[in-house]
Structure 1
Amino acid sequence: MNKIESMKSKIITYTTDLSLSFKGIENPWDTIPLYHGTTSKYLNDILRNGIVPRKNSAHHNFQESPSNEHLVYLSNKWHYWYAYHSNKESIIRKVGQKRYETESIGALWNETNDFPIYVCCDIPKELLTLDEDVVYQFDVKHKINSGFIKEPSDISISDCLAQGTIASLKEIDPIYINEIVILGSPEYRDELLEGQYGAEANNWFNGWGLGDMTRADLSTLELMKYHNQIEVLEYEYPADKNNLVENIVLLGDNLIISFKS
């Protein structure tokens, strides 16, 4: 095992130990805005229970890339990427690779009642820990190979945030969730994944950090061009006040949400 993979393994052990020994939050109001991209297959579970680590739920966005089952993974930029790609995997499991590649994504969203979503949260800083994939970022990788980083504790939360992903030691309690955004625009999906955002995501995969697009840029694009096909569900607390979703339909240029009675 090379130094990078060895450090990744150490981080998983380190963050697991931190999660299992976590005593609680002393200052819940010292928070940072973060996002969780996933697919609407899990929407009602999130509306009732918040975001739960994989070890306590059936949620698994990426079957082929197992993560630390004790953590919840979050982002300050790449939540769209995670939403679209977890939705892709979910739909392929339902209809197959060929149909996913050849049929309209809007039609497949409607058929499967499975849409990309992201969850907007304010997370207490005390909950934050390392995402083990930070080891693949160029500056962190260089410090590992040069011996400057010897242990997971040598990597900071800021190092993770600087490349766009972070993790929570515990579940994301409903009290920390503000809203859930349902992404129902095929055009917005294409513009993001095939445009500047997608190019910056590819650079991120290759270790080059966040890129230039800001959260404000993305919000402006979302609201100005695609608001009819995006639905924002305000999250209620306590969570049992949230209405569960019965069905999501993309009808022409509009996204229609129906709720369970």
Structure 2
Amino acid sequence: MSKPFEELKRARNEKRMSLVQVAEMTGIDTEYLAALENAEFSLLPDPLYVRGFIRRYAKTVGVNAKPILDAYREWEQEVNFIEETNQQVSLPSRSSRYQKNRKAGWKSPGSAIEKFKTLNVKKKRILVSSAVFLILAASAVIWLIIDKVYSGAETVQLNQSSSSAPDSSSAAMVKKRPVVRLAQPAEKSDYGDVYSIENADKVEVRISAVKLAEIQVRSGGPTGEKIAEKTLRAKKTEMFSDPKWLSLRVDHPDHVKIYVNGVLIDTSKQKEVSLYQLKIKEK
């Protein structure tokens, strides 16, 4: 991806121009010019502005802007595809979990036991007898189903021809989507919400800032090596990956969107400093 953008730097060096000189001629900040040369798109503003930056920079140093614009549009399409996919799947926020439990009127198992104790002897006998009858009836139905399934399976195995075997090549084309689950909530963990990731070779995290936010990322867990500690400005995006485990600390989770292997973690209601442990599920 960076090769078309390297032409900008090459042409600038041939003209013996510094980034400061190009910035003065184009009106583009030097940090944006450097980001264009290195294809570091997460450091750039809205794509609408970036396309204008590319045209101005290319014109100033005398290179064809079309291959560079095409490369940037290709990157845009990839990002948009990820965004559309992410909108289909998301995990609830911590606050929404609380609200859901309250609306459902959740009670502990002990409350049902207490109600049973208050029933008279006759009602208790009726309830127990009904439960036993239902258990016996369900057992009979299950055995009938199992017997039918096994006898049917044997018939299929004997009559099945080789032509009906599944096409291994087509099956290989179907790639399982990564599954992200809340393994342990922050209420039961010393290091924030713990998420497990299945059907993935590594942990991939993308953090997009809506407003100013401070982030810290560690590899291998909350006490692992610190790989990033920075301030994200609005419309900035950072991406991180690790073979097994990423630990994320965010001062204003409601200011960012966190995508874990293509799944959006809803942090829109979390205003306090929060930790997130993102781990590949052990097989």
State the TM-score, normalizing by the size of structure 2.
0.21
Q: Structure with the greater relative contact order (CA < 8 A, sep ≥ 6): 1 or 2? A: 1
**Structure 1 length-normalised TM:** 0.22
